[in-house]
Structure 1
Amino acid sequence: MSLSSDLRLILDDPTLSDIKIKGNDGGEINAHRLILVARSEVFKRMLLSDMKEATQDVIEFQEFSSKALQVVVEYLYTGKVTKNFLKPGIVFEALCCADYFLLEMLMFHIISFVRSNMEDKMNILAKILSRILESSCRELANYICELIDLVSLKSIDYHNLSAKALEYILSYQEEEGINMFSLSSGYDLFRYITLWAASEISEEALTFYESYLPSPETVRNLDSNDMQKWDPNIPFTEELHVKYRSEIVTKTSTLLDYVNLEVIHPLVFSNELIRDLIDSNILKDVYRKQALLAGSYFSMLRNAFQWKVKRYRELDNPFVFDSQSPVHEWVRTKFPFSGHDLIEWDIVVEKMCKSFWVGVCSDNGFNVNSNSWLGQHSYGWVLGSNGFICHHKKDKDPFKNKYGRKFNEKSRITVRLDMKERTCSFAIDGTKYPIAFRDLPDEIYPAVSLMSPGVARIEPLFGRT
């Protein structure tokens, strides 16, 4: 038995208990002064000072329920948090309670619980970030920002993000080199920031701008061959725009500094209302940059294929991923592809490992586990060096779908992603094979799944069909 296990046995046990902790719901927790004093500076100050709690047999906390306090007590006794006490319904209160008791590591444990167990994790993380930025816990804030990327940002309800939290997310992404050109980070981000500002003003403002601003799907399709017609001068209620425009511009002025406006389709800026929401000097600069970038579109697009790795890792080359794991892990690019485009890229096997997998993934709405084999998950579609394709394989023998042939070190695997048809196919060293996967999600990332000493290079291909 470990010390942690032994202490768990006396957790909330009235035997030898010499103090009770009471929540605002009337619930009481049996505890031991010695353990509380040894494990918490806050309790130490309460129980070994002239404070009234030092002489009381029951310490009452009007700020928290007994359920939230129980999470703190469990951590103080065992150094862990479990589903026995940490329930989805009290996550935010438990984190506030941990903050009150200055238990930073417990806050990390709670956020990890949210990441692994909560379906609506992005909204909860956003709410937590808005809270903790009131303190000086920047390491914890950065950890949350690692989990909230620019793609998942759009799944967060506006009311869950404070102005400070939204700007912190954007500045963090920029500092980490993540807020760069992508197929979805321009207009999507502009629209989100604008609607967030509208929601801060009133429900009427949000409804108006939400109905008038074109959808991200409409704007993305402006770049496809199957272009949807979009009237850039749709009539709108001028009185409402005049009423809210100035406040919208004020709220978004600093936030739009983090948006790559120049990568937004030029037709978007022919929209009278959209032009009105951007400072005229900024808009002139956007037009100038769009003219300069017109000849280097493919160079910009290439950056969307950089690998996204864990924060503690740095790649010498952002297009080359070398696994350092003795077991399978997987890595994706920083941004997804969507819309109706046809995208192709090569994965070059620079160094082979026991089993090397190439394909695509989608982490939108999933509790992803990057320290695993991608082919076993519902969010992974991959082709292996053994010549089999796999998707969401849970059985003991997943290698039943033979596809193409085996590949080896120095092989070049071409991935062909047709977002209009939502299909994926592969070519191995120039030999093309039929469609491997159908009915893909509307956002897909290039991905590889490998282990040490495997090394994968990604090379985007343009202008090929």
Structure 2
Amino acid sequence: MPFIEDNILQNLLVEKVATIPLNTIEFDRLSIAGLQCLLSFTHKKAKSFATPEYEVFRYSAILAAKQVSNDAFKTLMKCLPTLEQIKNSIQVENEPITDHCKVTKELEPLIDFIDFNQIKGKILTDIIEPLGIIPAKTILDAYRQKARSHNTDFNEIRGTQFWDELACGSKLFIEENGKVVSASNDCHTHQGVRAKILIDSKGIFEWDFIIEKACKWFWVGVCAPGSFNNDEPIGWALSSEGRYYNSGNYLEDYCPSLGDGTRITVHLDMNKKTCAFTVDGTRYPEVLNCNNNLPSKFYPVASLCYPGRFRIQSHQKLDVII
């Protein structure tokens, strides 16, 4: 089922489904055509999406197998653990796939809408490639891209972050389909806003904050769920004065003051539990977390007042001065 740009109802439905992790949707609730519509809507586009790319492949492959036979479905369920199971070092079972050619054929319409470059190299080599259901050229192209980028662990989730209208202060409003947050002219004290997509997996995650209009004092960064409104939120943040905050600790003069037009890139390394910021092309040092009980889940966040206006977007590569 091709994606129809002008179908407003379909767009709204697909956009809503995109915010639901695929691994929470039963395999009999979504058809191959429906999944293709969802993936085409979000593939290489600035759309909010809640599912890591490996889980996109996993769901697609298992759904394809379910269309073929129950035996094929059971085999793929064994051969494709969830990311959570991979984190827990579960032993992956390698066994022949029943009706292998039929599964490959059923999966074929979805392959072009899965970005294998966003799947970790170790998962590609140890779990996906041995299945033999992905074209060799697709796998080879992913390996080449990783070799060129010199990093196999960057953002594992397609799309971009958006501000969450359900998780922002009462005097903040979201514009441009979630890309911009602004403070109303009666917002005299700081209010917080978080992004929609939770970061809860290993890897390196990057995104940009653009200060389109600065306010007297503000913060941008990343924070654990439920702690943003606390006196000492858990996470990392950068203030308008150039101060670096980390779970109750401050580093003065981390970078120059921030103002109108400043572009801030967040470099969150969930493997090492560190965070660094690039400000207008200059990358500043990463700082280790000072909290020994650091959670494993975070949201991008900001705190602002009038006349603040902040944009959030996928990281746009610029020449970086180190």
Distance of 2:85 and 2:145 partners within structure 1: 25
Paired letter, 2:289? I
1:123-272 map, 5 Å = 138-149=7-18, 152-174=21-43, 176-178=45-47, 185-201=52-68, 203-216=70-83, 235-236=94-95, 238=96, 241=97, 243-265=98-120, 268-269=124-125
Contact residue 345 and residue 416 of structure 1 kept, 8 A: yes
Contact residue 175 and residue 182 of structure 2 kept, 8 A: no
Aligned to 2:162: 308
1:412-451 map, 5 Å = 417-420=268-271, 422=273, 435=289, 437=291, 439-451=293-305
Any idea what the Cα deviations from partners look like across 1:256-284, whole Å, max 9, x if unmatched? Answer: 22101344455525768745212xxx422
Indicate the RMSD between aligned Cα atoms, in angstroms: 5.4
Any idea what the Cα deviations from partners look like across 1:95-121, whole Å, max 9, x if unmatched? Answer: xxxxxxxxxxxxxxxxxxxxxxxxxxx
Any idea what the Cα deviations from partners look like across 1:37-87, whole Å, max 9, x if unmatched? Answer: xxxxxxxxxxxxxxxxxxxxxxxxxxxxxxxxxxxxxxxxxxxxxxxxxxx
Judged with a 3 Å threshold, the aligned counterparts in structure 2 of structure 1 residues 421 and 174 are, in CA distance, closer, same or farther, namely: closer
1:289-438 map, 5 Å = 290-291=143-144, 294-297=147-150, 301=154, 307-308=161-162, 313=176, 323-326=181-184, 328=191, 330=193, 332=195, 336=199, 338-339=201-202, 341=203, 351-361=213-223, 375=229, 381=235, 383=237, 385=239, 401=248, 403-405=250-252, 408-410=257-259, 417-420=268-271, 422=273, 435=289, 437=291
**Structure 1 gap segments, 5+ residues each:** 1-136, 222-227, 316-320, 367-372, 392-400
Higher strand fraction (1 or 2)? 2
Q: TM-score, normalised by structure 2?
A: 0.61
Paired letter, 1:143? L
Shift of 1:442: 3.7
Shift of 1:189: 1.4
Look up the SS of the partner of 1:359 in the other structure.
Answer: strand
Distance of 1:300 and 1:286 partners within structure 2: 16
**Highest CA radius of gyration, 1 or 2?**
1
Paired letter, 1:276? G
Greater relative contact order, per chain length (Cα 8 Å cut-off, separation 6+): 2
Shift of 1:172: 1.6
Q: TM-score, normalised by structure 1?
A: 0.45
Contact residue 306 and residue 333 of structure 1 kept, 8 A: no
Judged with a 3 Å threshold, the aligned counterparts in structure 2 of structure 1 residues 306 and 235 are, in CA distance, closer, same or farther, namely: closer
Look up the SS of the partner of 1:403 in the other structure.
Answer: strand
Distance of 1:380 and 1:165 partners within structure 2: 39
Paired letter, 2:62? L
Any idea what the Cα deviations from partners look like across 1:422-452, whole Å, max 9, x if unmatched? Answer: 5668899958866355545545454434354
Look up the SS of the partner of 1:188 in the other structure.
Answer: helix
% identity of equivalent residues: 22
Higher helix fraction (1 or 2)? 1
Look up the SS of the partner of 2:18 in the other structure.
Answer: coil
